[in-house]
């Protein structure tokens, strides 16, 4: 194993705000101002961020909440979904999409995904719709937009609302519109590593329906309006004012960061193009490593994650680690096979596409501020691996 000095500093999967000294000091200043005011919950900082985030998403209303999971749970509660109801969720997602459904006493109906995109499709939704299903949650996974229009057509026919899980796709556009603004409600997470990240946890719900926005607003803070008049049984799920102030500053940079992610994604795709069926020596590789499917005309990809697929995933990850290139698996277990959801009784083999993906996917480093040299090192490591293994070693 080579010493780390020989391969250079490790390239991380992502970098957070502490890696950008200028941004860090700007945000520290913001935090100091809010702290000096003692304005820690709700109030003008949260309202200002909500206004800006709604405008950014081109949606009439945004409500700041404490996490992406709470955003989803409160969106479902605003739709009056609860015990006895089912909510359709793709098994190929972060577990939080299903947890939000469970948290409000409803049951997640876990369905499979399209093998090419790894996302929900109208065909899958149409096949799985049944009377108990009160809502469908498409997930714009990794920053790639779900083909929503046909899904919205199918669900509208059955009078079933769509809640978009846009927790990995802030700012992405689908047919010209920002994701999150097409469904009845759209949900976002501001977990630090997301495309728009706070300095801790945070989330938001966007909608064009004033009544739904008001319900989410009530529910996030004890159903209270005005003070001590409790209209509904709510909870403590507010966005902190400190986080709101940090997010508001960062929001002005989000389009720039997403543009950089798209550029880096396209460049990495280009660098890895030799993997499309052939090794660099011209020998067929049997596509030992597959690239993420590229966005079609009306779709977008803001590369929250750059995810390749390999039947030799573990060997690839070991090789990358030796070359000082970080990698990760998002996610190693499809939701229906987690211990947490064993009670649903959906056994191995029940959602084969999600299961196959979980065994093959590998996330590579990609983040704003990544240098050309870093990008080239990532690509070289992947290409070298593919070169050394011209055939699928299943
Ligand atoms: C991050 C994420 C969530 C949950 O967000 P938290 O803020 O961590 O609660 C939900 N769905 C998806 C797809 C996510 O990536």
pLDDT score of 295: 76
> Do 221 and 323 sit in the same domain of this protein?
no
**65 in any annotated domain:** yes
* Cα 394 to averaged position of ligand 1 atoms, centre (Å): 32
Find out whether the beta carbon of 167 lies less than 6 Å from any atom of ligand 1.
yes
Find out whether the beta carbon of 195 lies less than 6 Å from any atom of ligand 1.
no
Taking residues 191-196, report their average pLDDT.
Answer: 98
**319 in any annotated domain:** yes
Find out whether the beta carbon of 92 lies less than 6 Å from any atom of ligand 1.
no
pLDDT, one tens digit per residue, over 335-361 is: 999 999 999 999 999 999 999 999 999
> Do 246 and 264 sit in the same domain of this protein?
no
* Cα 216 to averaged position of ligand 1 atoms, centre (Å): 18
> Which amino acid residue places its CA nearest to atom 14 of ligand 1?
167
pLDDT score of 277: 58
pLDDT score of 98: 98
Is 129 within 8 Å of 103 (Cβ atoms)?
A: no
pLDDT score of 394: 36
Find out whether the beta carbon of 65 lies less than 6 Å from any atom of ligand 1.
no
- pLDDT category of residue 391 using cuts at 50, 70 and 90: low
**189 in any annotated domain:** yes
> Do 34 and 182 sit in the same domain of this protein?
yes
> Which amino acid residue places its CA nearest to atom 2 of ligand 1?
167
Taking residues 216-242, report their average pLDDT.
Answer: 97
* Summary mean pLDDT of the chain: 94
Q: List the structure tokens of 164.
A: 């978009």
> Do 68 and 214 sit in the same domain of this protein?
yes
The residue with tokens 């250079």 is 8
> Do 310 and 199 sit in the same domain of this protein?
no
**9 in any annotated domain:** no
Q: What is the 3-state secondary structure (H, E, C) of the chain?
A: CCCHHHHCCCECCCCCHHHCHHHHHHHHHHHHHHHHHCCCECHHHHHHHHHHHHHHHCCCEEEEECCHHHHHHHHHHHCCCCCCCEEEEECCCCCHHHHHHHHCCCEEEEECCCCCCCCCCHHHHHHHCCCCEEEECCECHHHECCCHHHHHHHHHHCCCCEEEECCCCCCCEECCEECCCCCCEEEEECCCCCCCCCCCCCEEEEECCHHHHHHHHHHCECCECCCCCECCCCCECECEHHHHHHHHHHHHHHHHHHHHHHHHHHHHHHHCHHHCCECCCCCECCCCEECCCCCCCCCCECCCCEEEEECCHHHHHHHHHHCCECCECCCCCCHHHCHHHHHHCCCCCCCHHHHHHHHHEEEECCCCCCCHHHHHHHHHHHHHHHHHCCCCCC
* Cα 202 to averaged position of ligand 1 atoms, centre (Å): 10
* Cα 369 to averaged position of ligand 1 atoms, centre (Å): 23
pLDDT score of 392: 47
On the question of pLDDT at 318 being above 90, the answer is yes
Taking residues 203-228, report their average pLDDT.
Answer: 97
**For residue 194, which atom of ligand 1 is closest to its CA?**
1
Find out whether the beta carbon of 142 lies less than 6 Å from any atom of ligand 1.
no
pLDDT score of 133: 98
352: CATH = 3.90.1150.10
Q: In the chain, what percentage of residues exceed pLDDT 90?
A: 90
Q: List the structure tokens of 97.
A: 């999409």
* Cα 330 to averaged position of ligand 1 atoms, centre (Å): 12
> Do 153 and 294 sit in the same domain of this protein?
no
Burial 141-171 (b: 16+ CB within 10 A, else e): bbbbbbbbeebbebbeeeebbbbbbbbbbbb
pLDDT, one tens digit per residue, over 73-118 is: 999 999 999 999 999 999 999 999 999 999 999 999 999 999 999 9
> Do 212 and 265 sit in the same domain of this protein?
no
**1 in any annotated domain:** no
pLDDT, one tens digit per residue, over 263-305 is: 999 999 999 998 875 444 554 444 579 999 877 778 999 999 9
Find out whether the beta carbon of 164 lies less than 6 Å from any atom of ligand 1.
no
pLDDT score of 162: 98
**6 in any annotated domain:** no
pLDDT, one tens digit per residue, over 18-33 is: 999 999 999 999 999 9
> Which amino acid residue places its CA nearest to atom 4 of ligand 1?
68
On the question of pLDDT at 223 being above 60, the answer is yes
Number of domains in the chain: 2
On the question of pLDDT at 50 being above 90, the answer is yes
- pLDDT category of residue 330 using cuts at 50, 70 and 90: very high
Task: Determine which of 49-58, 226-235, 280-289, 313-322 has the lowest per-residue pLDDT on average.
Answer: 280-289
**194 in any annotated domain:** yes
**357 in any annotated domain:** yes
Find out whether the beta carbon of 189 lies less than 6 Å from any atom of ligand 1.
yes
* Cα 167 to averaged position of ligand 1 atoms, centre (Å): 5
Range of the domain at 53: 18-251
Q: Which of 251, 278, 306 is the last residue of a domain?
A: 251
Find out whether the beta carbon of 68 lies less than 6 Å from any atom of ligand 1.
yes
* Cα 359 to averaged position of ligand 1 atoms, centre (Å): 21
- What's the Rg (C-alpha) of the chain? 22
Q: Which of 208, 226, 251 is the last residue of a domain?
A: 251
Find out whether the beta carbon of 94 lies less than 6 Å from any atom of ligand 1.
yes
Find out whether the beta carbon of 96 lies less than 6 Å from any atom of ligand 1.
yes
pLDDT score of 5: 45
> Which amino acid residue places its CA nearest to atom 5 of ligand 1?
68
41: CATH = 3.40.640.10
**For residue 190, which atom of ligand 1 is closest to its CA?**
7
pLDDT score of 279: 45
């Amino acid at each position: 194993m080579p010493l780390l000095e020989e391969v250079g500093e490790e390239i991380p999967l992502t970098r957070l705000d502490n890696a950008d000294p200028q941004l860090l000091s700007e945000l520290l200043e913001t935090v100091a101002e809010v702290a000096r005011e003692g304005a820690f919950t709700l109030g003008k900082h949260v309202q200002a961020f909500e206004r800006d985030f709604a405008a950014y998403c081109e949606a009439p209303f945004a409500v700041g909440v404490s996490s992406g999971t709470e955003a989803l749970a409160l969106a479902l509660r605003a739709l009056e979904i609860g015990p006895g109801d089912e909510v359709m969720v793709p098994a190929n997602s972060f577990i939080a999409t299903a947890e939000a459904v469970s948290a409000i006493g409803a049951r997640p109906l876990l369905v499979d995904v399209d093998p090419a995109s790894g996302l929900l499709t109208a065909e899958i939704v149409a096949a799985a719709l049944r009377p108990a299903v009160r809502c469908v949650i498409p997930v714009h996974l990794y920053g790639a937009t779900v083909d929503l229009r046909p899904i919205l057509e199918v669900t509208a026919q059955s009078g079933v609302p769509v809640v978009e899980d846009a927790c990995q796709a802030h700012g992405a556009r689908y047919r010209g519109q920002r994701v999150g603004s097409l469904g009845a409600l759209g949900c976002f997470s501001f977990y630090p590593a997301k495309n728009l990240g706070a300095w801790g946890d945070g989330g938001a719900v966007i909608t064009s329906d004033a009544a739904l926005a008001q319900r989410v607003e009530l529910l996030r803070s004890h159903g209270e309006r005005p003070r001590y008049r409790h209209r509904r049984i709510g909870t403590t799920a507010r966005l902190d004012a400190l986080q709101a102030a940090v997010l508001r500053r960062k929001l002005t940079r989000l389009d720039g960061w997403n543009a950089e992610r798209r550029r880096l994604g396209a460049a990495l795709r280009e660098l890895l193009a030799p993997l499309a069926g052939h090794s660099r020596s011209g020998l067929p590789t049997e596509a030992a490593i597959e690239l993420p499917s590229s966005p079609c005309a009306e779709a977008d990809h803001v590369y929250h994650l750059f995810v390749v697929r390999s039947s030799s995933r573990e060997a690839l990850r070991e090789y990358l680690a030796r070359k000082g290139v970080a990698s990760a698996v998002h996610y190693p277990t499809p939701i229906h096979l987690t211990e947490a959801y064993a009670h649903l009784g959906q056994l191995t083999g029940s959602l084969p596409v999600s299961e196959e993906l979980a065994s093959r996917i590998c996330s590579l480093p990609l983040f704003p501020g990544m240098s050309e040299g870093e990008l080239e090192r990532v690509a070289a490591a992947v290409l070298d691996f593919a070169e050394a293994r011209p055939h699928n070693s299943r």
